[in-house]
């Protein structure tokens, strides 16, 4: 996640994937300004509602503003309609917000993911407002390394536990090779029973020790 704006450089690694019983989302935590490591505990994984999360890559300010926008709009939808918005609806709403700034766009690449009555969903959103659903998506400068892991190990129908292990493995591999990614790992799951659950640093370390030895 870069804090400068001369061109769209996404110095970040994020991932989200569909599992049979929910969603897994993960990011690393490094923010860079060119070659400078500006922050080492940057949140790039946001809880939007009990059933929806969002990961961000790109400009820090734009990402934080968009997370606040979407969270507020999703909560208003729940109040006005007495039901939660669908994941597709939240993704479309964010896509419209992004497209509305086409002259001076938000410098971000986002993942909106969650679970609704139609099941688990992952959407990739670009700065122009494009929204594409997929089984798994990774963004940022570390994404080629993550895709390498996912193409080899992701399987449809895997459990959330298996997905969490795979997300930790993939982000960890990216942090070893991408200099703009590092300084810790944020992990969260979403399912129908528990909603949005963020893992503690201790829980993430336990997973890393179990799967990376």
Position 127 scores a pLDDT of 92
Position 83 scores a pLDDT of 96
Number of other residues whose CB lies within 10 A of the CB of residue 7: 7
- Three-class DSSP category at 172: helix
What structural domains and CATH numbers belong to the chain? 14-211 (3.60.20.10)
Position 155 scores a pLDDT of 96
Catalytic residue among 12, 27, 138, 189: 12
Pick out the chain residues at pLDDT < 50.
3-9
Compute the C-alpha angle 21/14/174, nearest 5°. 110
pLDDT tens across 96-142, in order? 999 988 778 899 999 999 999 999 999 999 999 999 999 999 999 99
Compute the C-alpha angle 174/139/96, nearest 5°. 165
Active site residue 12: yes
Position 10 scores a pLDDT of 54
- Average pLDDT in the chain: 92
Position 6 scores a pLDDT of 38
């Amino acid at each position: 996640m870069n804090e400068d704006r001369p061109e769209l450089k996404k110095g970040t690694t994020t991932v989200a994937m569909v599992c049979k019983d929910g969603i897994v989302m993960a990011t690393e935590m490094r923010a860079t300004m060119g070659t400078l490591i500006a922050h080492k505990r940057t949140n790039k994984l946001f809880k939007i509602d009990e059933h929806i999360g969002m990961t961000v890559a790109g400009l820090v300010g734009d990402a934080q503003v968009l997370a606040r926008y979407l969270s507020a709009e999703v909560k208003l939808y729940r109040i006005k309609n007495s039901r939660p918005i669908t994941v597709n609806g939240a993704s479309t709403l964010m896509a419209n917000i992004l497209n509305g700034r086409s002259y001076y766009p938000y410098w971000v690449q986002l993942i909106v993911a969650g679970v609704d009555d139609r099941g688990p969903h992952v959407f990739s959103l670009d700065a122009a407002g494009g929204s594409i659903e997929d089984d798994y998506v990774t963004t940022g400068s570390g994404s080629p390394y993550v895709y390498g892991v996912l193409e080899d190990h992701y399987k449809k129908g895997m459990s959330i536990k298996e997905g969490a292990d795979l997300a930790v493995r993939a982000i960890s591999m990216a942090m070893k090779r991408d200099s703009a990614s590092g300084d810790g790992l944020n992990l969260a799951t979403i399912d129908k029973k528990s909603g949005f659950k963020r893992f503690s640093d201790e829980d993430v370390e336990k997973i890393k020790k179990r799967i990376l030895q």
